[in-house]
Amino acid sequence: MTVLGEVSVRIATTMHYSPLRNLLPHHPPPQLGPALPVTLPMRFNLLQDPEEFAGRVGDFLLAHEAEHSLLFGILSNLSSGWTYGGAAAGGPVLAFVEDVTGIAVVGVVTPPRNLVISRAPAGGAVGALAGGLRARALPLPGVSGPPAEAQLFAASWGRLHALPFRRAIAMQVYQATAIHPPEHPAPGRLRAGQPGDAPLVAGWIAAFNDEALPEGEPDRNAAMQMALDLVSHRGRSVYLWEDAGPVSMVASGRPTPNGGRVYAVYTPPEHRRKGYASSSVAALSQSLLDGGLSRCFLFADLTNATANHIYRQIGYEPVAFFDDYRFGV
């Protein structure tokens, strides 16, 4: 992989000031009200090297590994040379804000996708991130992340650009350290996707997106590119449940430091209610744990009661929430 040279842009987002001294010392000192919270100075940082960026923010993200598993996956893909649409899309934007205590928030954009934001323990960090990214003139379609931070960024970005925003998807973040096989396993078996499966996988990805994101614009080319990447098994992989032919799919992303991310769970309507999704997710998750990972992560749309039920049944436990906001709608 060709790694771009290091670039670090730092923008001071908090001005420092000292109160004017009282020029009439014979006056009594003013009565002070309740102490105000101290706002620490914030620095907006922008890097170009994904590996350097991951090294800078990795420990911060690891503190909430499940919520940040998507960010870990994106950074791992970028470090391996994956381009998320190529140079024509504008390249990734790797940003973080820090204060005197260290990293305060992380934000990653792979145009034309949403900003993915981390947790932010410091109150002013999300606003500083929005202000720093504004200078990049990014046409962000939305933001995804922990609910408080995603909502705060959406409000800040909307205010800076006079854009409306709304929450489009609310998700549950799950984690599993042990898998309980389905009580009634589906017939068939899970197998790794092959290059010849790419057209089928692309069609299922497009169908999945149509169901999960009904207001989004379908992108069949992007679905095919994703399918080709998944069947190549270069860091992320797709698996098909076979029962006299493929009937369901599930994918795994690049691992976090301790876990694996399970996603793209899809069963066509004609094959549903037969246990294929439960068996697929359970088999893949168990395989990841058997391979040395200590946990698996999975995100589920809170409105999909069936999916949330089956994930809990096989051993996934809810650990956090994750929201998706859209701008301009």
pLDDT for res 206? 95
- DSSP H helical segments within the chain, as ranges? 50-62, 69-79, 125-134, 147-161, 198-212, 220-232, 276-290, 305-313
Distance between CA atoms of residues 144 and 324, nearest Å: 4
Share of the chain above pLDDT 90, in %: 74
Domains along the sequence of the chain with CATH? 41-163 (3.40.630), 176-327 (3.40.630.30)
What is the structure's pLDDT at 288?
Answer: 98
Q: What pLDDT digit, counting tens, does each position of 24-54 carry?
A: 344 444 444 444 444 568 999 999 999 999 9
- Residue 40: count of CB within 10 angstroms of its CB: 15
Read off the pTM. Answer: 0.84
First to last CA, the chain: 38
Q: Which two tokens stand for residue 299?
A: 């995100």
CA distances from 102 to 44, 45, 52, 98, 223 (A): 12, 12, 16, 5, 38
| Spatial separation of the C-alpha atoms in residues 253 and 285, rounded to whole Å | 12
- Dihedral sign for Cα 127, 120, 320, 240, please: positive
CA distance 166 to 155: 9
Q: Which residue has the higher pLDDT, 150 or 90?
A: 150
